[in-house]
């Protein structure tokens, strides 16, 4: 087999070769290079639809890679400092679930912060593992969850010596990092694996002056959203592993839920993005930092907004901070974050990542330009001038510590009844309630519904947050355990 280097693109080059061979296709997909759907070809472009092909011998097979996909995954592992890398085309959701389901079986315990993405709790619903939650710290002014303290981590490990693993957000949606190096040391000392949700941390692997990556910290597995800041296509991701886990078993677990019809557009984008990061990542992420720091400084010159950054670092609840995250607190100008989000989109043509009750998040990447940064700053200044009002009555926190009554799987599959949301105080939740993004559950299956949670949910709905998770599409009724 040919020897590949980081300059090579095994998957994309194989795709190009088959495209130039002008094969006659009696296989799927049925659009046959766009000829069977001219509007699709017109919308996406001829090259794109011709590269949308099915697995064939020269292109390898993601379920059991033995040639070009295998080589591309080797290059990715090398680039990210892992022993193995798995290409994921079901989003980082599948990577997170693959991690948890690889190390836990039904009844096994896994330690995790409660402000995890829904994908982690979904994994518990599927395979029956039991969560042991560590409640994150809370910044009361910003109303956001922070990281896990080493004191809480150590106490939880000692109280649950039979836990199989601990999951760490590296970083959170807001850029907050826990002390992953010391967590790894402590977990390994007690025979536990460390899993990292790095959906928002691809740049940690290639940039400078950024928090440490999970693989560099010694974690056993990591789920990395290449598409978020790494430059691949949406839905493409990586699952990285060290030799402390059985990579062949991990592949089997991934194949339980990942599609058998992997998109070569997504696979080749991972290949291309990896090469670009190796060649240009350092420069790309230095520019990202520069733009984010400039925007943060300019926004903080305006009274009312607070673009928070490394000043939050206390080496405890916020052990480190991702300075590329432009998170902005809006409540002091009398507007919820989701209200600023809507105004930016509707009145200024600016789409940011999300707005919650008190904050907005603008994702800055290598694809941004200085002109667009200036446009965002100017729009925020004008929004403040036009819309500023008294902040009295605004909800002042994002995170409410849950009360766990039963396991997620038991509650999700229990006999349930549907009740009006406001009539459910004191009952056990049988499904999810969350704002998306960020996709951190307000309620998860097995948690007690409280008045505080109901008040928060109603407030989020009133302010226009995009609510998901319940069977009832209007989020007026919720399934509770009978």
Give pLDDT tens digits for 232-254. 999 999 999 999 999 999 999 99
Q: Which domains does the chain have, with CATH numbers?
A: 8-59 (no CATH), 60-277 (3.40.640.10), 279-387 (3.90.1150.10), 408-481 (3.90.100.10)
2 — pLDDT class (breaks 50, 70, 90): low
Is the peptide bond between 208 and the residue preceding it cis, with omega within 30 degrees of 0? Answer: no
**In angstroms, rounded to a whole number, what is the distance separating the alpha carbons of residues 362 and 292?**
9
Q: What is the mean pLDDT of the chain?
A: 95
The DSSP call for residue 398 is S
pLDDT of residue 436: 83
The DSSP call for residue 429 is B
Give the Cα-Cα-Cα angle 308, 311, 315 (nearest 5 degrees): 120
CB 61 within 8 A of CB 267: no
| pLDDT tens digits, 45-81 | 999 999 999 989 999 999 999 999 999 999 999 999 9
**In angstroms, rounded to a whole number, what is the distance separating the alpha carbons of residues 284 and 287?**
5
Residue 123, SS3?
Answer: helix
**In angstroms, rounded to a whole number, what is the distance separating the alpha carbons of residues 476 and 467?**
11
**In angstroms, rounded to a whole number, what is the distance separating the alpha carbons of residues 143 and 51?**
46
pTM of the model: 0.95
**In angstroms, rounded to a whole number, what is the distance separating the alpha carbons of residues 480 and 363?**
36
Q: Which two tokens stand for residue 139?
A: 């910044």
pLDDT of residue 437: 79
261 — pLDDT class (breaks 50, 70, 90): very high
End-to-end CA distance of the chain: 60
**In angstroms, rounded to a whole number, what is the distance separating the alpha carbons of residues 52 and 59?**
12
Which stretches of 336-369 are DSSP H helices?
337-348
Q: Which two tokens stand for residue 196?
A: 């990292």
Mean pLDDT of 282-301: 97
- E strand residue ranges, 32-163: 84-88, 109-113, 130-134, 138-139, 144-145
**In angstroms, rounded to a whole number, what is the distance separating the alpha carbons of residues 381 and 302?**
7
Predicted confidence (pLDDT) at residue 439 exceeds the cutoff of 90? no
| pLDDT tens digits, 357-395 | 999 999 999 889 999 999 999 999 999 999 999 988 888
**In angstroms, rounded to a whole number, what is the distance separating the alpha carbons of residues 272 and 265?**
10
Percent of the chain with pLDDT strictly greater than 90: 88
Residue for token digits 């912060």? 113
φ/ψ of residue 33, rounded to 5: 70, 20
pLDDT of residue 73: 98
Predicted confidence (pLDDT) at residue 434 exceeds the cutoff of 80? yes
User: What is the H or E stretch that residue 359 is in?
Assistant: strand 359-363
Predicted confidence (pLDDT) at residue 1 exceeds the cutoff of 60? no
- Mean pLDDT check: name the lowest of 165-174, 303-312, 336-345, 400-409: 400-409
**In angstroms, rounded to a whole number, what is the distance separating the alpha carbons of residues 189 and 157?**
10
Mean pLDDT of 436-452: 91
């Amino acid at each position: 087999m040919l020897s590949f280097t980081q300059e090579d693109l095994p998957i994309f080059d194989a795709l190009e070769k088959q495209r130039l061979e002008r094969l006659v296709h009696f296989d799927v997909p049925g659009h046959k290079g766009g000829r069977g759907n001219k509007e699709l070809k017109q919308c996406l472009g001829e090259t794109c639809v011709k590269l949308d092909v099915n697995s064939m011998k020269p292109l390898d097979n993601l379920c059991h890679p033995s040639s070009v996909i295998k080589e591309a995954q080797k290059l990715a592992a090398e680039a990210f400092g892992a022993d193995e890398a798995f290409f994921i085309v079901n989003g980082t959701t599948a990577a997170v679930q693959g991690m948890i389901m690889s190390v836990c079986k039904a009844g096994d315990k896994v330690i995790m912060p409660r402000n995890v993405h829904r994908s982690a709790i979904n994994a518990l619903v599927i395979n029956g593992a039991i969560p042991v939650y560590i409640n994150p710290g809370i910044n009361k002014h910003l109303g956001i969850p922070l990281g896990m303290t080493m004191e809480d981590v150590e106490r939880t490990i000692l109280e649950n010596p039979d836990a199989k693993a601990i999951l760490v957000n590296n970083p959170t949606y807001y850029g907050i990092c826990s002390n992953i190096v010391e967590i790894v040391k402590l977990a390994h000392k007690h025979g536990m694996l460390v899993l990292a949700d790095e959906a928002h941390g691809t740049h940690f692997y290639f940039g400078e002056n950024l928090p440490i990556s999970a693989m560099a910290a010694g974690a056993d597995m990591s789920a990395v959203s290449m598409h978020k800041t790494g430059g691949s296509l949406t839905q493409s991701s990586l699952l990285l592993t060290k030799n402390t886990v059985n990579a062949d078993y991990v592949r089997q677990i991934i194949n339980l839920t990942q599609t058998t019809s992997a998109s070569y557009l997504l696979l080749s984008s991972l290949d291309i993005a990896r090469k670009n990061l190796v060649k240009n990542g350092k420069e790309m992420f230095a520019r990202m930092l520069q733009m984010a720091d400039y925007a943060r400084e300019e926004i903080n010159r305006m009274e009312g907004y607070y673009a928070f950054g490394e000043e939050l670092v206390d080496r405890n609840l916020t052990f480190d901070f991702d300075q590329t995250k432009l998170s902005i607190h809006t409540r002091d100008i009398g507007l919820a974050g989701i209200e600023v989000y809507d105004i930016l989109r509707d009145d200024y043509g600016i789409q940011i990542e999300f707005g919650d009750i008190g904050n907005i998040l603008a994702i800055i990447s290598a694809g941004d330009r200085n002109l667009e940064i200036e446009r965002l700053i100017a729009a925020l200044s004008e929004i403040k001038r036009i819309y500023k009002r008294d902040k009295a009555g605004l909800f002042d926190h994002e995170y409410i510590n849950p009360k766990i009554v039963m396991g997620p799987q038991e509650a999700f599959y229990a006999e349930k009844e549907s009740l009006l949301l406001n009539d459910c105080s004191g009952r056990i939740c049988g499904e999810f309630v969350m704002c998306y993004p960020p996709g951190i559950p307000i309620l998860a299956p097995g948690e007690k519904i409280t008045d505080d949670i109901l008040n928060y949910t109603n407030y989020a709905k009133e302010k226009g947050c995009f609510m998901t998770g319940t069977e009832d599409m209007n989020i007026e009724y919720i399934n509770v355990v009978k």
